[in-house]
Structure 1
Amino acid sequence: MALSWLPINLGYEERELLDHFICTASSTLAIVEPDKNEFLSLLVRLVLSDSSPSSVAVLQSALAPSLFHRNGLQADVFRFKARALRTLITSCNHSIESPTLVQHVAARMILCHLEMLEMSNDVSLWFYIAKLDFAF
């Protein structure tokens, strides 16, 4: 079921992609069936918990496989992935607290999942992300 309201401001496209991730794309995550809904609920809470950089990184990392699942490999998938990686880098410091650490793990897990999806296309986005030069 899609979200009926959001505590954060998202544009129309991002809202649609988040709904798609929740309803459809998340089913591709390699999670044991009994825990799938609970895990998805945790990911959504991490996205919506606040507007911190680490929460934004989880959001951007979720939007990338959602777009990939919906429309295939395209430049916007690279952009979401690059934003997630850039946001993870900027939110790192020497004393990462527990909620931020959990958000980092979640974002990286989703990005690894996306990498596995991309491998089925014999294309690695890490190369293309470097070419984007983090210009966003």
Structure 2
Amino acid sequence: MSGYSEPPPQRAYAPARPPGERPAHNGLGTTALVLGITGSVVGLVWALFWLAGALGLLALALGLAGRGRAARGEATNRGATTFGAVLGLISLALSGVGAVLVSKTANDATAPPVTASYRPADSSATHL
């Protein structure tokens, strides 16, 4: 007898997904969620209202596009996409509040001081 034996037969592996089925395209929803969270956090700093507005607008647009994909069955993260769009709206609202606060602060800083009563100096008084 020789020490040679035949190797065991190879096992056939099943494909990861059935042929013809496409993987889910969840990138828009995930990006909308990340931008919405970031925009909402940045919106709490009222001086960065412009960044919160830009991030909120992108999150809203990508969230609505991701909801369209989820409705067509191309994506599986409908909840995350919806939450990203809602956070985009919140970020836009915080951006509006920040713009009002910055505008009010700038107007208050450039306005002349208001005194309780204004009386011109007496011209007969001597000043040192």
- Confirm or deny a common fold (TM above 0.5): no
Normalization by structure 2: what TM-score?
0.43
Higher relative contact order (Cα pairs below 8 Å, separated by 6+ residues): 2
Normalization by structure 1: what TM-score?
0.41
Who wins on radius of gyration, i.e. which is larger? 2
